[in-house]
Amino acid sequence: MRTSAICSAPLHESSVACQVEAVSSIPKPNPWNSDEPFSYKQMWFGATVCQECINRKIAGENIHWLEYVWKKYMATRVAISAGAAALRCLILGSSEGGIESRLCQKCFSGEIVASHIAEKAVSRARAKVADAGYHNVRHVIADLNSDSFEGEFDFNIAEGMLHHIMNVERCLGMFRSCLKDGGLIFAVEFEGAFRFQLQELQVRWINAALRVLPKALRPFPPGSGGDGPASEVENRTIFYLPTPEEAVASFAPTEAYSGRDLKRLIPQIFQIVERTGYGGTLLSYMASHFDFERSNRDPFARTWLEVFCHIEDTVIASGILEDEFIFYVLRKKAVNQACKRSSDRVSVSDTLVTDADLKVPGEA
């Protein structure tokens, strides 16, 4: 999730000192536990252009990262396994049942344990899988700051969940301990700044990219748009400003909490098979300044979004800024490669979640 603010000041003021007003409504804590699924339509990866760019960066072709993982890593192992039904998969971040449903569609017949901390999201995921007739999926509610999972898994999957974990070192140790020898972890994660407190250079590049846009695609007052870019005076009235840390913490205490820690800890704890950045360094902060949903239906907006993507790619490729979103394939380190210092600090015995302990929606 992203918060994004617009800084607006009267046109006659020459100073950029201004009053910050949130353009998009501030989400409530844990929006995944709302009565309706969280919508990603207004976020950068809800735009077809951005999703196609992400796909090609990760997979080298326009296929979803999970399709890439299945083709390259999972399908062969499932096919050659004498006991394919005995293979196990753990999912951290079962948001609306998407990952487990796709795996079942691929004929993964082993047990899938899909976890999330939000009870309503888990209930919807569980219902979706049940309606599709898949009987090898077990949905559970778990707090990854303290909970562990019983047994070992052949595949562990984490989608956008780990950067929310405050006790992330302990969580990564748990993730490692429940992975079988020879097993693989697949993760797509955010490694950006703590609670989106961006460095000045990154903020300047976000605003530089926004200034390229025609006014008609920026959040200027109705009737003030046009095909030309905003003037310098106008640009001093509408620009990106990071949401204050206190505001982020007040509505989503765990948002963007451990991104930097993930970047540091993952190489210490795991052997990296693949690490591929897929951007988000500029684009993910523009939701209140550019209508990503419009780009899916309006060729004019789509074309300018492609320009945005090229600017972000160029800034990253030239080494000015780094990717904030990362795709990982990981495995356990060999014993002689393991970082003893990290292993000594990581405890995975805080809470062992057994079948009897896990909360399953709809059951007593």
The string of pLDDT tens digits covering residues 288-324 is 999 999 999 999 999 999 999 999 999 999 999 999 9
Amino acid 362: pLDDT: 43
Check whether 115 has a pLDDT greater than 50: yes
Question: Which whole number is the average pLDDT over 168-183?
Answer: 96
Amino acid 29: pLDDT: 53
238-293 residue pLDDT tens:
999 999 999 989 888 899 999 999 999 999 999 999 999 999 999 999 999 999 99
**H helices within 318-354, ranges in order?**
340-345
The pair of structure tokens assigned to 207 is 């605003």
Amino acid 179: pLDDT: 97
Residue 139, C-beta contacts closer than 8 angstroms, at least 6 positions apart = 94, 97, 114, 115, 116, 122, 125, 126, 129, 360, 361
Higher pLDDT, 12 or 135: 135
Answer for the pair 321, 202: CB distance below 8 angstroms, yes or no. yes
Amino acid 181: pLDDT: 96
State the first-to-last Cα distance of the chain, in angstroms, to the nearest integer.
32
Q: Which amino acid is at 70?
A: W
Answer for the pair 262, 191: CB distance below 8 angstroms, yes or no. yes
Check whether 21 has a pLDDT greater than 50: no
Q: How far is CA 200 from CA 128, 134, 207, 285, 354, in A?
A: 44, 49, 11, 14, 46
Distance between CA atoms of 120 and 154, rounded to whole angstroms?
A: 28
Residue 281's nearest CA partner among 248, 316, 318, 245 is 316
- Please report which helix (H) or strand (E) contains residue 155, including its range: strand 153-159
Question: Which whole number is the average pLDDT over 14-39?
Answer: 50
3-state SS of 10-61 is CCCCCCCCCEEEECCCCCCCCHHHCCCCCCCCCCHHHCHHHHHHHHHHHHCC
Residue 113, C-beta contacts closer than 8 angstroms, at least 6 positions apart = 88, 89, 90, 91, 138, 140, 149, 153
Please give the angle made by the CA atoms of 53, 59 and 60, to the nearest 5 degrees.
Answer: 75
Q: Among the listed ranges 135-139, 321-325, 357-361, which one has the minimum average pLDDT value?
A: 357-361
Check whether 2 has a pLDDT greater than 80: no
Buried/exposed code over 13-34 (b: 16+ C-beta within 10 A; e: otherwise)? eeeeebeeeeeeeebeebbbbe
- Please report which helix (H) or strand (E) contains residue 93, including its range: none
Question: Which whole number is the average pLDDT over 143-161?
Answer: 95
Average pLDDT, the chain: 85
**Cβ atoms within 10 Å, residue 80:** 8
**Cβ atoms within 10 Å, residue 181:** 8
Amino acid 32: pLDDT: 63
Distance between CA atoms of 124 and 139, rounded to whole angstroms?
A: 10
Check whether 17 has a pLDDT greater than 50: no
CATH class label, 39-194+258-353: alpha beta
Amino acid 311: pLDDT: 98
Amino acid 36: pLDDT: 79
Answer for the pair 87, 155: CB distance below 8 angstroms, yes or no. yes
How many residues are listed for the chain in this entry?
364
Amino acid 48: pLDDT: 97
- Tell me the percentage of the chain whose pLDDT exceeds 90: 72
The residue behind tokens 């015995």 is 349
Amino acid 354: pLDDT: 42
Give residue limits of the domains in the chain. 39-194+258-353
